[in-house]
Amino acid sequence: MKRLLTEDQLREGVQRLAHEIGDSYAGRPLTIVGILTGSVVLLADLIRELNLPLRVGVVQARSYHGATTERGELIINSDLMPDIKDRDVLLVDDIFDTGHTLVEVVAKMRELQPRSIRSLVLFRKEGRQQVKHDPDFVGFSIPDKFVVGYGLDYEDAYRHLPYLAALEENEINDHPLDGERGAG
């Protein structure tokens, strides 16, 4: 594993984002909605840097990979989200890769008639985007590598790492958590 961003760099990035949000909403109440599961670490750190009247909620987005579809169909579960009608909403995700996830979640949330909706991602991969939408707030641009840590997983492992790391080619096949189940 190659470390890309240290714990200190991530903290500074999150603080920078919190300042931008503070300036932008200027004391107005805000509803922050994190996209599960990747945004949990960011969400926890970001909200504690914000000095605004704040509501916090989550929405789940996961891809369902059918046998025939190349890109999985996105399943969005908003049951855990607070009412966002007529509210200023900031949607928070870990990483902006092709951009499809964020675009689809934003579209789904617009149906609930928020007063405004903007988006924030901690990482944006360079040269990968397939959508016109750009997030309103971006923490870091990172190279096109498969990254883990600070909320991001590989096969459900590594989310808890306090830094961001890129997996090497030879680390992408073995299941990182297999040992926990024991042999057989």
Smaller CB separation from Mg ion, 24 or 133: 133
Residue 150 near ligand 5GP by CB under 6 A = no
3-state secondary structure at position 57: strand
Q: 37 preceded by cis ω (within 30°)? A: yes
Smaller CB separation from ligand 5GP, 18 or 95: 95
Binding to ligand 5GP, residues 100-139 (CB under 6 A): 100-101
The interface partner of residue 43, options being ligand 5GP, Mg ion, none and the CB cut-off 5 to 8 Å by kind, is: none
Phi-psi region of 120 (alpha: psi -120 to 50; beta: other; left: phi over 0): beta
| Residue recorded with tokens 């840097």 | 49
Min. distance of Cβ 1 from ligand 5GP in angstroms? 12
Distances (CA, A) of 42 to 23, 60, 66, 120, 139: 19, 15, 30, 11, 11
Min. distance of Cβ 94 from ligand 5GP in angstroms? 5
Residue 135 near Mg ion by CB under 5 A = no
| Burial classification of residue 152, based on how many CB atoms lie within 10 Å of its CB (0-12 exposed, 13-18 middle, 19 or more buried) | buried
86 among known catalytic residues: no
Residue 139 near Mg ion by CB under 5 A = no
The interface partner of residue 152, options being Mg ion, ligand 5GP, none and the CB cut-off 5 to 8 Å by kind, is: ligand 5GP
Residues 30, 115: Cα–Cα separation, whole Å: 10
Active-site residue (options: 45, 93, 94, 97): 97
| Residue recorded with tokens 């890129």 | 166
- Residues near Mg ion, by CB under 5 A: 38
Catalytic machinery residues: 97
